[in-house]
């Protein structure tokens, strides 16, 4: 039986991945910063990846490490040097873990990166694996540096590297901007997004988990970079409408010309928020579908409705 080690096992993606691995019969271990909600059947190890070595026992007989742990986007970062903080966690701690995994004889190392490595938005063509990287923020820079240093570290070794760059991952327990959007839609607050005609690729938590499991065993995944998404692009207004539909409420969208919205957010010091809300970011998933014969298990519109429905049910409990 394959033994899989998941870092960040207590996080949004980590919990779902651990549960799916257990359900599919994998022996599963999880690294967490602190013991919290646990998945039955997972062997947990509390560890601070920055300051501590990974317990040798946790890597013994492990065939694959799925590295999800990291420092993600921080809306109001209080660090004096945010880039250094991102590098410490997302790059240096990753390399330390990879070295230990290599010494322990792990066969494959899956690194969860970010579509931000490619850039903050797309124009005429979607991002694919051949697109030149243009990391646009400290978080994305640290992820790209980790990718490049992992390639150097593992070149010519027995441990195979797989890099996965997802766009925004959504689901009921998603953190960050998606959680805020759920709350806004549920509140009935008017949102100035009706005039926005963008196209964004998203990926559901179910599809992320499905793809990661595909990467664990598929021989063709070795040494590859993959961009993944649900496979259908939606506008920000469509996202709001589908969430509201699932909540059984009307989406309160108002029309504000894009230049005015952009100028207003710039005055508030939230220029990047305009790109996130109103810019397009499209992902070409052809490589994942053809090389690994992977197909998404959920589609965007129906899954957004489902998330909205679950959120409304949870709030009413």
Element (H, E) at 67: strand 64-67
Nearest one of 180, 175, 193 to 279, comparing CA atoms: 193
3-state secondary structure of 17: helix
Instruction: Give the start-end residues of each E strand in 83-128.
Output: 108-112
Task: From 219, 203, 208, select the one nearest 281 (Cα to Cα).
Answer: 203
Catalytic residue, candidates 26, 44, 139, 170: 139
* Catalytic residue check, 139: yes
Q: How far is residue 161 from each of residues 38, 49, 95, 106, 187, measured CA to CA in Å? A: 28, 19, 12, 11, 43
CB 190 within 8 A of CB 253: yes
Question: Do 39 and 19 touch, CB atoms closer than 8 A?
Answer: yes
CA–CA separation, 39 vs 22, rounded Å?
Answer: 9
Q: Could you give the residue numbers annotated as active site?
A: 139
């Amino acid at each position: 039986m394959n033994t899989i080690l998941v870092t960040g096992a207590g996080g949004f993606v980590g919990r779902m991945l651990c549960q799916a691995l257990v359900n599919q019969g994998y022996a599963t271990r999880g690294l967490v910063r602190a013991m919290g909600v646990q998945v039955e059947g997972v062997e947990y190890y509390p560890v601070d990846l920055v300051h501590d070595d990974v317990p040798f026992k946790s890597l013994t007989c492990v065939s694959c490490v799925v590295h999800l742990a990291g420092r993600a986007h921080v809306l109001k970062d209080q660090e004096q040097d945010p880039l250094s903080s991102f590098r410490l966690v997302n790059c240096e701690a990753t390399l330390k873990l990879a070295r230990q995994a290599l010494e322990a004889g792990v066969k494959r190392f899956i690194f969860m990166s970010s579509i931000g490595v490619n850039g903050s938005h797309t124009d005429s063509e979607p991002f694919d694996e051949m697109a030149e990287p243009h990391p646009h923020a400290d978080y994305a820079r640290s992820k790209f540096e980790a990718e490049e240093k992992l390639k150097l570290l593992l070149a010519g070794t027995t441990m195979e590297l797989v890099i996965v760059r997802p766009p925004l991952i959504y689901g009921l327990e998603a953190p960050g901007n998606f959680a805020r959007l759920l709350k806004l839609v549920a509140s009935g607050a008017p949102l100035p997004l009706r005039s926005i005609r963008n196209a964004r690729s998203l990926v559901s938590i179910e599809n992320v988990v499905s793809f990661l499991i595909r990467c664990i065993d598929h021989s063709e995944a070795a040494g590859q970079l993959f961009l993944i998404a649900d496979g259908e692009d939606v506008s920000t207004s469509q996202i709001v409408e589908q969430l509201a539909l699932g909540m059984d409420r009307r989406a309160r969208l108002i029309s504000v010309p894009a230049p005015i919205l952009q100028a207003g957010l710039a005055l508030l010091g939230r220029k990047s928020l305009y790109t996130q809300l109103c810019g397009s970011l499209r992902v070409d998933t052809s490589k994942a579908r053809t090389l690994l014969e992977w197909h998404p298990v959920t589609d965007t519109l129906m899954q957004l409705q489902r998330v909205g429905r679950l959120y409304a049910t949870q709030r009413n409990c």
